[in-house]
């Protein structure tokens, strides 16, 4: 059974930092792309970042303030977020998809971790 478990969310003041983690189990982690998404209150879910084969891609809204990384030995993907803004407030989700399924829907999702940035 595949599981993705996010952690690291919390309440932080504007300008602060958080590091989110996504630990995966039940899959061959090194063969899966892991991406981060977020859903802000009253808004649609949006893409945040993805890392695969040394290549990263970030949403414009977080570019320059966010770093995605992964540790295949720990089956974990990280999202380091700096210079946080109130508009970064959202539930953050990680998602996994086999690397051969480019363009297909993400297969697995975590339960989400809340990030709240106060002004």
Mind listing the pLDDT tens digit for each residue in 3-56?
Answer: 999 999 999 999 999 999 999 999 999 999 999 999 999 999 999 999 998 899
Q: How far apart are CA 1 and CA 45, in angstroms?
A: 25
**Distance between start and end Cα atoms, the chain:** 40
- Contact (Cβ atoms closer than 8 angstroms) between residue 106 and residue 47: no
pLDDT at 94: 98
Identify the three-state secondary structure at position 101. coil
Q: Work out the number of other CB atoms within 10 angstroms of the CB of residue 24.
A: 22
How many residues are present in the chain? 119
Over range 87-116, report the average pLDDT.
Answer: 95
pLDDT band at residue 102 using 50, 70 and 90 as cut-offs? confident
């Amino acid at each position: 059974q595949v599981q993705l478990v996010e952690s690291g969310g919390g309440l932080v003041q504007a300008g602060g930092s958080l590091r989110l983690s996504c630990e995966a189990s039940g899959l061959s982690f090194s063969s899966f792309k892991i991406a981060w998404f977020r859903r802000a209150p009253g808004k649609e879910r949006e893409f945040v970042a993805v890392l695969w084969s040394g290549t990263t891609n970030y949403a414009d809204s977080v570019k320059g303030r966010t770093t995605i990384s992964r540790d295949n030995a720990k089956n974990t993907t990280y999202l380091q977020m700096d210079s946080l803004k109130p508009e970064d407030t959202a539930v953050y989700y990680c998602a996994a998809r086999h690397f051969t399924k480019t363009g297909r829907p993400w297969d697995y999702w975590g339960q989400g971790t809340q990030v709240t940035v106060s002004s």
